[in-house]
Structures are given as structure tokens and as C-alpha cells.
């Protein structure tokens, strides 16, 4: 029945010179997302929006994939025909019959759009005429309800074609990946950082990931878990360059030479410094973390200040003011939650101070840290780093 899918995107958000770039990128990202279904699926711009040609494929498969593409706000499977109003009526009837038979629809209304001003009926007249036609052909199976209908039958009369559709499937919105540079995500096995990564990617930012482990204190399984999270993220973000670094040698040095209550905060500064170094190597212009104010001792405002101070590139913390419960909601929606809650050792828990400082001072922490050869430790960590591309 359906032959095209209407793709709505953030028309209002992007204006001027950026718009063609945005559209081109969105088209190519949608095409990429559909490659596994069929390489010859067409995606094109027409009427100031995008269409996907369904061809021989299952429209539900296409929607499932296209829904994950950032920049897509909503999708509607539709019937597009040549400009023939009588045929449009038949197609709308077919669509509405389907809704009655398979979705138990009992009320409807028609909403019309006429972009061809030379067409002899105005929009309200099309609605009335189409509504009357549908009602008279579905004798008693369905009624009209203009306030709260089960089905809204959208019909459009355009210069070169006619169109009808009823479903509107919401997507994530955002901006097409690859239109806003690249960032390095500090990806742990927790709930927060995958959500933070997803949120930044949703704004069109390509992401790479860096993960710290303390092998052999943390095991192979805990590393696999984080790779699995990266794999889930790659559903939205495409293949992800995944860097893994053993931070145990640094943790041992901190443990031996720095005050016990500062172990975590100093280790976090090392994580930031290493991430910054790798980010610069990879042309990433920012770091991303899953921190939010007050969640743990190292995420007090003072803690964040001390962490921030370790680097000179921007650090994006999209979850900074989120409650855990809201972060969990997103992690369920993007399907990272089930993996995140698998209990595994994390490098941060290997040397956990009994009473971590909650109000660390930058100068004091830098002083404690200065007994270490920070630069060398960072360089060595980066040299021993392993890199792999994670994709579905
Ligand atoms: P998450 O749920 O993301 O692990 P969290 O609330 O447990 O966050 P922390 O463990 O303090 O908080 O970590 C704060 C942030 O530091 C994380 O969101 C992540 O960005 C980064 N981080 C923590 N541990 C690691 C790790 N082992 N590898 C890479 N990044 C990490
Ligand atoms: Mg954590």
C-alpha cells in the first residue's frame, strides 16, 4: 500500500547557508542507516522535505532504522501518486479501510493541504469532500470525530502529485551526525556516560570513546561490557573508534605517593589528561563525560572544578543537571540500560578511598599530584593504549 516515507526534520532550527549542508548530510546518513536493508533505497528531497522510496522493501524495517538517525524528527509512511484527485480518494479509502480492519479505528477526520493553488477545491473543501467520500464508502464502519479521532487522514494536493498518510512516528530529533565536529567520550561501564555520549552525538557531533581499565584487577568481561555499550551506541553514531587504556600503573603510583582521600580525584585528573592527549591526536575538540552535580564525591562543584582544571579543551557534561531517574529513562530508550546494569568491576573501585575528599582544592590537589611525573605517566599510558573500531 505505502510507497514512500515522509521524513520531517528540524527545518526551523537550521537556516541559511547551513541548510543545504545539513540536508545533504542527513540524506547520506539515512541512506547509510538503510544499507543493511537495501543498498538501492532512494532518499530524496522534494516539497521542502525528505522522502524515502520504499520500493520492494518492508516499510516497517525502513522506519525502524531511519528512526535512529539524528536530525529526523518524525516519519510517516505514505501513499504518493500522480496528480489525480479521484485516485487519491481511492487510496485514502484503502488506507482508512486498513486502519479499520487492523487497528480497530472507529472514528476519523480528514486534514487537507493544497499547495497547488490552481486546484479547484480549497483545503477545507477537500476535507469535506474527502470526508464525505470516505464515510459513504465505509457504510457505518467508521464515524467522524473532529476533536479526538482515532485516525487523522492527511491528504495533500500538490503541483505534481497527491499524497495521503495517517501515521506519524516520532524520532529523536537532533542534528545530522557529522555536522558539528568530533568529541572524545570518557566511556565507563556505568549508566551515565553512554547517555552523555548519545546526547552529544544527537547534536550532530561525531564521537570516539576512551575507556580506562585496571587489568588484571578488572577483568576481560568488564572491558567487553563497555565495548558492548559502544556497540549499542554505534546504532546511532556509526562505527566508534574505541581506545582502551590500562590505568593501573598510574593508580599504583598515586596510591603509593598521594594522600589516601585524594586517590579518586587525582585518578580522575589523569583520566582527563590522557583523554585530552588522545583527543588532540584524533582531532576531537572536546571531551564528554557523564558527570552530574552531586552524584558522587568527585562530582561536587569543587570536585568538578578540580577535574576540569586538569585539561584545557572544553569538557561537555550534558547530564550535569539531570536526576538519575531521568538519565535511566534515556538509557532505557536508547537500549544501553540493560548492559550498564550488569555488575562488573570498574577501575574506579580498585583503589577506593574510605573517605574521599568532597571539597578538594585545586592548588592542594596539584601539589599532591606534583610528586608524580605526570607527563611521563600520561605519555606511557597513551603509548600502551589499544585501539579498535566498534560497529554493529
Ligand atoms: P557512569 O555511570 O558514567 O560510570 P558515574 O556516576 O559512575 O558515571 P564516575 O564513576 O565518577 O560517575 O565517573 C564520572 C565520569 O567519568 C563518567 O561518566 C565517565 O565519563 C568518566 N569515567 C568514569 N570511569 C571511567 C572509565 N573507567 N573509563 C572512562 N571513563 C570513565
Ligand atoms: Mg562510573
Give residue-wise pLDDT tens across range 78-111.
999 999 999 999 999 999 999 999 999 999 999 9
Question: How far is the C-alpha of 153 from the C-alpha of 165, rounded, in Å?
Answer: 6
- Number of alpha carbons in the 13 Å side-chain half-sphere of residue 200: 30
What's the pLDDT tens digit per position in 324-357? 999 999 999 999 999 999 998 887 777 778 888 8
Q: What is the mean pLDDT of residues 263-272?
A: 96
CATH 3.40.50.620, the chain: domain bounds: 182-390
Residues in the chain: 392
296 lines ligand 1 (CB under 6 A): yes
State yes or no: 268 annotated in a binding site. yes
What's the pLDDT tens digit per position in 241-251? 999 999 999 99
346 lines ligand 1 (CB under 6 A): yes
* Strand 161-165 relative to strand 151-157, pairing: antiparallel
Lowest-pLDDT range of 14-18, 176-180, 214-218: 14-18
Determine the pLDDT at residue 78: 98
262 lines ligand 1 (CB under 6 A): no
* Strand 43-46 relative to strand 49-53, pairing: antiparallel
Question: How far is the C-alpha of 28 from the C-alpha of 250, rounded, in Å?
Answer: 43
* Strand 107-114 relative to strand 143-144, pairing: parallel
The pTM (predicted TM-score) of the whole model is 0.93
15 pLDDT higher than 70: no
Determine the pLDDT at residue 14: 67
Question: How far is the C-alpha of 161 from the C-alpha of 168, rounded, in Å?
Answer: 20
Question: How far is the C-alpha of 108 from the C-alpha of 147, rounded, in Å?
Answer: 9
187 lines ligand 1 (CB under 6 A): yes
Determine the pLDDT at residue 299: 85
Q: 4-170 architecture in CATH?
A: 2-Layer Sandwich (3.30)
11 vs 336, residue with greater confidence = 336
Determine the pLDDT at residue 18: 79
Which residue puts its alpha carbon closest to atom 31 of ligand 1?
Answer: 188
Ligand 1 pocket test, pick from 189, 191, 193, 270 with the greatest ligand atom count within 8 Å of Cβ, gives: 193
Determine the pLDDT at residue 48: 80
Q: Left, alpha or beta for 178 (phi > 0: left; psi -120 to 50: alpha)?
A: left
Strands (E) across the chain are located at: 4-9, 43-46, 49-53, 72-82, 107-114, 143-144, 151-157, 161-165, 169-170, 182-186, 206-213, 240-246, 286-288, 315-316, 386-390
Q: 182-390 architecture in CATH?
A: 3-Layer(aba) Sandwich (3.40)
Amino acid at each position: 500500500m505505502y510507497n514512500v516515507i515522509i521524513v520531517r526534520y528540524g527545518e526551523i532550527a537550521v537556516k541559511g547557508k547551513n541548510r543545504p549542508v545539513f540536508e545533504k548530510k542527513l540524506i547520506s546518513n539515512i541512506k547509510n542507516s538503510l544499507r543493511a536493508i537495501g543498498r538501492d533505497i532512494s532518499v530524496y528531497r522534494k516539497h521542502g522535505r525528505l522522502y524515502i522510496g520504499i520500493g520492494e522493501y518492508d516499510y516497517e524495517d525502513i522506519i525502524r532504522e531511519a528512526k535512529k538517525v539524528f536530525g529526523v524528527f518524525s516519519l510517516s509512511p505514505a501513499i504518493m501518486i500522480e496528480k489525480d484527485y479521484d485516485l487519491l480518494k481511492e487510496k485514502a479509502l484503502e488506507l482508512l479501510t486498513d486502519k479499520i480492519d487492523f487497528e480497530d479505528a472507529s472514528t476519523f477526520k480528514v486534514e487537507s493541504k493544497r499547495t497547488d493553488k490552481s486546484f479547484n477545491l480549497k483545503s477545507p473543501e477537500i476535507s469535506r469532500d474527502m470526508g464525505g467520500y470516505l464515510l459513504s464508502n465505509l457504510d457505518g464502519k467508521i464515524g467522524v470525530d473532529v476533536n479526538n479521532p482515532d485516525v487523522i487522514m492527511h491528504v495533500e494536493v500538490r503541483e505534481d502529485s497527491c499524497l495521503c498518510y495517517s501515521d506519524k512516528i516520532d524520532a529523536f530529533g537532533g542534528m545530522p551526525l557529522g555536522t558539528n565536529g568530533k568529541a572524545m567520550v570518557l566511556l565507563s561501564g556505568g549508566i551515565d556516560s553512554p547517555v552523555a555520549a548519545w546526547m552529544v552525538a544527537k547534536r550532530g557531533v561525531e564521537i570516539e570513546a576512551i575507556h580506562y581499565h585496571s587489568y588484571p584487577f578488572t577483568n576481560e568481561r568488564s572491558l567487553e561490557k563497555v565495548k558492548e555499550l559502544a556497540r549499542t551506541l554505534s546504532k546511532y553514531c556509526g562505527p566508534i573508534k574505541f581506545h582502551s587504556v590500562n590505568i593501573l600503573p598510574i593508580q599504583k603510583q598515586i596510591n603509593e605517593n598521594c594522600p589516601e582521600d585524594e586517590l579518586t580525584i587525582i585518578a580522575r585528573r589523569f583520566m582527563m589528561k590522557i583523554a585530552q592527549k588522545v583527543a588532540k591526536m584524533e582531532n576531537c575538540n572536546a571531551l564528554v563525560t557523564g558527570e552530574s552535580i552531586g552524584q558522587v564525591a568527585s562530582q561536587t562543584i569543587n570536585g568538578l572544578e578540580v577535574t576540569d582544571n586538569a585539561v584545557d579543551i572544553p569538557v561537555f557534561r550534558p547530564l550535569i543537571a539531570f536526576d538519575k531517574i531521568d538519565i535511566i529513562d534515556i538509557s532505557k530508550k536508547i537500549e544501553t540500560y540493560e548492559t550498564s546494569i550488569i555488575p562488573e568491576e570498574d577501575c574506579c573501585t580498585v583503589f577506593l578511598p574510605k573517605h574521599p575528599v568532597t571539597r578538594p582544592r585545586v592548588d592542594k590537589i596539584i601539589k599532591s599530584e606534583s610528586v608524580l611525573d605526570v607527563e611521563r605517566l600520561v605519555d606511557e599510558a597513551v603509548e600502551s593504549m589499544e585501539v579498535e573500531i566498534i560497529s554493529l
